[in-house]
């Protein structure tokens, strides 16, 4: 599972579908208008990528319904896919599909998926980009917070603590993400010894995150918090001159 969040309405479903595809490095547009053979066609989510110099396009129909999707929707969408020249079409729903819908999609370039199923469809494409993004966010903590030899003693001690804590967190999270990115939450898959070590350098909430997208958001928030604390310290000492060696 890429994200633990469920759509709250049809616009949110569109947004989440688009966000997932962007995470797979597609160029994505929401509510795209395309001139087709029968006039202007509205596509809920349209995505393109270039593979070996060739364009590959998919179109997504997002249905935030409580009732199962009837086959008439599939027949209509098959026409849309043909008109806009998409390689593949997805109908993503929060409910399910009538048996006739499944039959209507057979031997076509349309896939019928629930929101969890859509996530599963793109996991293998999404995960490598997730790992790259996670390492990029963690690498930010490798950057020096600046010179702090000029800080007053108490603030210098606080800055040293922030830097040490951030670097320990980075090292631990790089290992944990690389090793267990498909097995969240961490609290359920680490050995007791590893869990004890992790708790010494990783805030508890990270051990209970259930999906990788939320892990990225938590790391980003951790970065912002660390730098915000550093900025407060520098602001208190802005009147002091940096001491050059």
pLDDT given at position 3 = 94
- Give me the pLDDT at residue 193, please: 95
Whole-number mean pLDDT of the chain? 90
Question: Residue 38 above 80 pLDDT?
Answer: no
Q: Where are the alpha helices (DSSP H) in 140-211?
A: 153-180, 192-201
Query: What confidence category does residue 20 fall into, taking pLDDT thresholds of 50, 70 and 90?
Result: very high
Q: Which CATH number fits domain 10-120: 3.40.605.10, 3.40.470.10, 3.40.1350.10, 3.30.930.10?
A: 3.40.1350.10
Distance, CA of 141 to CA of 145 (rounded, Å): 8
State how far Cα 164 lies from the chain centre: 28
Phi, psi for residue 77 in degrees, rounded to 5? -75, -30
Residue 232 has pLDDT above 90, yes or no: no
CA atoms within 13 A on the CB side of 38: 8
Q: pLDDT exceeding 90 applies to what percent of the chain?
A: 68
Instruction: Tell me the CA distances in angstroms from 241 to 106, 140, 148, 152, 244, one per residue in order.
Output: 72, 26, 10, 11, 9
Lowest-confidence segment of 7-11, 37-41, 204-208 by average pLDDT: 37-41
pTM of the model: 0.83
For the segment 39-67, the average pLDDT, to the nearest whole number, is 93
Res 191 pLDDT > 60: yes
pLDDT classification of 242: cutoffs 50, 70, 90 = low
pLDDT at position 236 over 90: no
**The pLDDT value given to residue 239:** 75
Rg (CA), the chain: 24
Alpha-carbon gap, residue 164 to 70, rounded angstroms: 58
Say if CB 104 and CB 74 are below 8 A apart: yes
Among candidate residues 93, 47, 55, 49, the one with its CA nearest the CA of residue 74: 93
pLDDT at 43 over 90: yes
Q: What is the pLDDT of residue 58?
A: 96
d(CA 164, CA 156): 12
pLDDT band at 216 (very low <50, low <70, confident <90, very high): very high
What pLDDT, on the 0 to 100 scale, is given for residue 82? Answer: 87
* Residue range(s) occupied by CATH 3.40.1350.10 in the chain: 10-120
* Tens-digit pLDDT profile for residues 114-161: 999 999 999 999 999 999 999 998 887 766 566 677 788 888 888 888
């Amino acid at each position: 599972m890429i994200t633990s969040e469920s759509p709250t309405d049809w616009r949110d479903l569109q947004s989440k579908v688009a966000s997932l595809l962007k995470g797979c490095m597609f160029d994505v547009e929401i509510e795209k208008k395309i001139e087709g053979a029968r006039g202007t066609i509205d596509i809920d989510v349209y995505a393109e990528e270039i593979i070996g110099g060739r364009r590959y396009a998919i179109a997504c129909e997002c249905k935030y319904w409580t009732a199962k999707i009837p086959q008439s929707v599939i027949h209509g969408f098959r026409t849309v896919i043909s008109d806009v020249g998409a390689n593949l079409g997805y109908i993503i729903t929060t409910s399910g599909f009538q048996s006739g819908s499944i039959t209507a999609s057979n031997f076509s370039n349309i896939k019928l998926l629930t929101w969890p199923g859509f996530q599963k469809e793109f996991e293998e494409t999404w995960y490598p980009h997730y790992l790259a993004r996670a390492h990029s966010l963690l690498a930010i903590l490798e950057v020096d917070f600046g010179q702090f030899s000029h800080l007053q003693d108490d603030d210098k001690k606080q800055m040293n603590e922030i830097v040490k804590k951030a670097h320990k967190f980075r090292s631990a999270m790089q290992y944990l993400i690389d090793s267990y990115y498909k097995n969240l939450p961490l609290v359920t898959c680490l050995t007791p010894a590893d869990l004890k070590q992790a708790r010494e350098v990783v805030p508890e909430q990270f051990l209970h995150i259930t999906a990788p997208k939320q892990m990225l958001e938590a790391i980003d928030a951790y970065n912002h918090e660390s730098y915000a604390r550093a900025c407060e310290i520098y602001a208190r000492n802005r009147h002091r001159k940096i001491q050059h060696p």
